[in-house]
Structure 1
Amino acid sequence: MGCCSGRCVLIFLFTLQLITAVERQVFDFLGYQWAPIMVNFLQIIVAILGLFGTIQYRPRHVILYLAWTVLWVGWNVFVSCLYLDLGGLSKDSDILSLGISSHHSWWQDNGPGCESKGLPSSGWQSQENPRLIVLNCWLEYQYIEVLHCIIQLLISLLGFVYACYVVSTFSQEEESFNFMGEFYHPSKPSQLFL
């Protein structure tokens, strides 16, 4: 196994995907967005299984990752469309909080360079969910969320390609093994009858 083999690259991609998914999970927890919390949790579990399958030469775990990656890509495209208000979706809807609460993206109030103006002392207590008034952000919150999705999409697409390569490599290694402790080489057909 070389340092730049497909298996090593896939292990690196799984590790990178785990780090970015955990980071995304933390900020979704801070914003009480329940649908992304559940989907990110599944992504973390499947990435761990894929990592385990790659390290332990278990192609079924990597195939599970491949199947999940198709759903994960679809989820990230959906979230991107939601935050960009494409396809009849609206970032102001309660879809991501599952209608349980009216919480929103944590980045909406705490984005990079955002200045927040406090609420007036009178009258805000009667509101159900008072919000800070956010002024002058360097980057709007919806673009930060879309950037998270784009990073996940890029890593997932690279992971998909390398996972396909690793599964085909694993299956070729299984086919060339003759269960007597030796590998079959087509140049030496007499080796089968030893």
Structure 2
Amino acid sequence: MGCCSARCMLVLLCCLQLMTALERQVFDFLGFQWAPIMINFIHIIVVILGLFGAMQYRPRYLILYLLWILLWLSWNVFVCCLYLDLGGLSKESDILSLGVSLHGSWWKENGPGCQSQLLPSTDWHNHGNPELTTVLSCWLEYQYIEVLQGIIQIFISLLAFVYACYVVSLFSNEENSFDTIDECHSPPKPPHFFY
């Protein structure tokens, strides 16, 4: 495997996808966003399969990886549209938490430069917590951090898709050339006689 080959670039992109997906998984766990947690988990498994396919010359694993990348791109576009309130979607909905909890993005209260203030809650009997946390200001609002994570995933996935297509075509060409060589150098088959 050459240092600057397409296969090497695909391995590098898969490793980059794993790192960014693990980072995203941690923050989705902190925010109790169950739909992204499940999809990130599947993504991590399929990227590992794609990495294995690239390292071990397994085009079927790479084809599975390619199909997943198309779904992953769609998911990230959906998440970006959700956080930007595009297409009738709302970042205040409980779609990402699957309606199980009232939690949202971890970045909402813990983003860079966020200042929070504890205020007494008037309805503390129902929530079991007498204080309510409100965020006064942040350097970068949480929805833009989530969109930025989605855009990074889209960019890396598009590059990985192109390289994976190229590597699959290389693997297919190599298999075809080996089949041709085997046919040329194989001993002649004995004739079949039917009695």
* Equivalent AA in structure 2 for residue 89 of structure 1: L
- Deviation of 1:118 after TM superposition, in Å, equals 1.1
Note the C-alpha offset of 1:95: 0.3
How many angstroms apart in 2 are the aligned matches of 1:99 and 1:193? Answer: 64
Corresponding residue number in structure 2 for 1:142: 143
Matched, 1:85 2:85: yes
For residues 158-169 of structure 1, the aligned pairs below 5 Å read 158-169=159-170
Higher CA-based Rg: 2
Give matches, 1:6-45, under 5 Å. Answer: 6-45=6-45
Q: CA deviation at 1:159?
A: 0.3
Q: Determine the C-alpha separation between the residues in 2 that align with 1:145 and 1:100.
A: 20
The residue aligned with 2:102 is 102
Structure 2 counterpart of 1:14, one-letter code: C
The 3 A distance-change label for structure 1 pair 142 and 174 is same
CA RMSD of aligned residues (A): 1.8
Residue 184 (structure 2) aligns with: 192
Gaps of 5+ in 1: 185-190
TM-score by length of 1: 0.90
Determine if the alignment matches structure 1 residue 60 to structure 2 residue 52. no
SS where residue 86 of structure 1 aligns?
coil
Cα gap change, 1:19 to 1:192, in 2 (>3 Å)? same
Deviation at 1:124, TM superposition (A): 5.2
Report the equivalent of 1:187.
none
Q: Return the alpha-carbon distance in structure 2 between the equivalents of residues 56 and 193 of structure 1.
A: 26
- Match of residue 126 from structure 1: 125
Distance 1:75 1:119 in 2: 36
Corresponding residue number in structure 1 for 2:190: none
Paired with 1:108 and 1:78, the residues of 2 have a C-alpha distance of 19
Provide the C-alpha distance between the structure 2 equivalents of 1:131 and 1:105, rounded to a whole number of angstroms. 17
Structure 2 Cα separation of the partners of residues 37 and 134 of structure 1: 25
TM-score (norm 2): 0.89
Aligned residues: 184
Paired letter, 2:88: G
Write the deviation string for residues 80-126 of structure 1: whole angstroms up to 9, x where unpaired. 00000000000000000001111100000000000000122x63522
Corresponding residue for 1:170? 171
For 1:60 and 1:93, how far apart are their aligned partners in 2? 38
**What runs of 5+ residues in structure 2 fail to find an aligned partner?**
187-195
Distance 2:95 2:107 in 1: 17
Letter in 2 for 1:175: N
